[in-house]
């Protein structure tokens, strides 16, 4: 981890899974942020993909459904700058780790939710995966041969774009918080 990077001293709690959230926090960690990946023991992963996405991060396993796990999370959130999550709408509220709950203990928290279809729209409860986003946006129809079925790209374009938008939003929020307090 580059502790001298532009984000040195910035503390991130990453509750996300799959690609968009961990890729977002990987970029933050690569630039010096102190990222703690908060994981449920059931989702312990390994392999090259995992090692790349989780480089420069510390890890903690917490059961956020249990009171003890929530208490540890709240203590960590008191000193965090950013919380990143990628759950379906309603999950963080049920767990008690949503923005409103965390804001009570840390009013300066920046809370980034990476979702495929947003928190309130008509598609918010749809499963969100890269191929779904590309299909919904009509991008799959543009990939491959004209007279052939759509081709699924080998790179998760939409997931990476979601991660990049998360990074941009977080950096803008950090800048705004720095200016306004």
Tens-digit pLDDT profile for residues 20-51: 999 999 999 999 999 999 998 765 567 777 78
pTM: 0.92
pLDDT band at 97 (very low <50, low <70, confident <90, very high): very high
Residue of 14, 81, 130, 159 with catalytic role: 159
- Which fold does the domain 11-128+163-180 belong to in CATH? Rossmann fold (3.40.50)
Residue of 30, 31, 40, 129 with catalytic role: 129
Mean per-residue pLDDT over the chain, rounded = 92
Closest by alpha carbon to 17, among 163, 120, 161? 163
pLDDT at 42 (0 to 100):
63
For 19, the token pair is 């690609």
- Domains in the chain: boundaries: 11-128+163-180
- To the query of whether residue 59 is one of the catalytic residues in this protein, the response is no
- Cβ atoms < 10 Å from Cβ of 60: 13
CB–CB of 36/14 below 8 Å?
yes
pLDDT of residue 102 exceeding 80, the answer is yes
CB–CB of 29/57 below 8 Å?
yes
CA distance 159 to 181: 32
pLDDT 10s digits, 64-80? 999 999 999 999 999 99
- To the query of whether residue 159 is one of the catalytic residues in this protein, the response is yes
Query: Residue 62 — φ and ψ, nearest 5°?
Result: -130, 140
């Amino acid at each position: 981890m580059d502790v001298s990077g532009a984000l040195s001293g910035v503390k991130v709690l990453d509750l996300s899974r799959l690609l968009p959230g961990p890729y977002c926090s990987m970029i933050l960690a690569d630039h010096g942020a102190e990222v703690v990946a908060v994981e449920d023991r059931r989702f312990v992963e390994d392999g090259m993909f995992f090692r790349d996405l989780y480089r420069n991060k510390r890890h903690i396993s917490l059961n956020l459904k249990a009171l003890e796990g929530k208490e540890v999370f709240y203590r960590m959130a008191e000193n965090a700058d950013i919380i990143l999550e990628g759950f379906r709408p309603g999950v963080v509220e049920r767990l008690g780790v949503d923005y409103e709950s965390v804001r009570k203990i840390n009013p300066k928290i920046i809370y980034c939710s990476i979702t495929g279809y947003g928190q309130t729209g008509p598609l918010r409860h749809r499963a969100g995966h890269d191929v779904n986003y590309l299909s919904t946006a009509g991008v799959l129809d543009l990939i491959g041969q004209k007279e052939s079925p759509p081709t699924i790209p080998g790179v998760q374009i939409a997931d990476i774009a979601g991660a990049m938008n998360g990074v941009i939003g977080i950096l803008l929020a950090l800048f705004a918080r720095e200016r306004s307090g």
